[in-house]
Amino acid sequence: MFVSNRATILHADLDAFYASVEQRDKPWLRGRPVIVGGGVVLAASYEAKAFGVRTAMGGGEARRLCPRAIVVPPRMSAYSEASKAVFEVFRDTTPLVEGISIDEAFLDVGGLWRIAGTPPAIAARLRAEVLRRVGLPITVGVARTKFLAKVASGVAKPDGLLVVEPDGELDFLHPLPVERLWGVGKVTARKLHELGISTVGEVADLSESALMSMLGRASGRHLHALAHNRDPRPAAHRSADDLRAGHHAHRAHAGQPLP
């Protein structure tokens, strides 16, 4: 499948989405550690994350780590409305939008050079428009592949913009920890660390057959490709409404209230 030789894929990811909506709507929460949720942390502001609070952590543990945190109940309807507004900005930027959750998406801006400028300029305008129209900070990574654009946004957080040019892809990717590779969770990371492999570059130094032997055929091939930034998937249109419906269904299945 064709992959552009230019960095034209944007990964746009709202920062601490639920907590940011709370801080936007309640000015007295700005600059303070905020936890959304009760028994389980649904989101934490960056002020709370600085104390080690993480999403999906138990509420009791979160409060022990950050006793001064302000705990607020979730307002799913507010988050849904904010998501709709952000995706409107995405669609105003390019018709090629692939939503992957209610607070992040891939955007392909490769066909917009003549009418909208370079991808970095488009990404900067998108960030400014989300802040102006929705009042939320958003981080954008720009790269030639979806995988690397997502890695770039993760490195750039919070409230940042990072462009990985094609001639610097592996120099950027290879020093990063193996946990930055899609598909490397705690179990795979532990297995790699036990084998003395801690960076993406060390994964790239291994043959595909060696990785398949260590991790299984599918995982080995997958990680070998990503370590060399081989990711041919285009940004495919996915409806933000579908994503929100799936998100609400997941909450209902988990026994959580719907908006």
Active site residues: 104
Closest C-alpha among 25, 156, 14 to residue 89: 14
Upstream peptide bond of 158 is cis (omega within 30 degrees of 0): yes
What is the C-alpha to C-alpha distance for residues 167 and 169, in angstroms, rounded to an integer?
Answer: 6
Angle at 208 between CA 205 and CA 106, to 5 degrees: 85
Cα 100 to chain centroid, rounded: 9
Residue type (1 letter), 13: D
What is the C-alpha to C-alpha distance for residues 208 and 214, in angstroms, rounded to an integer?
Answer: 10
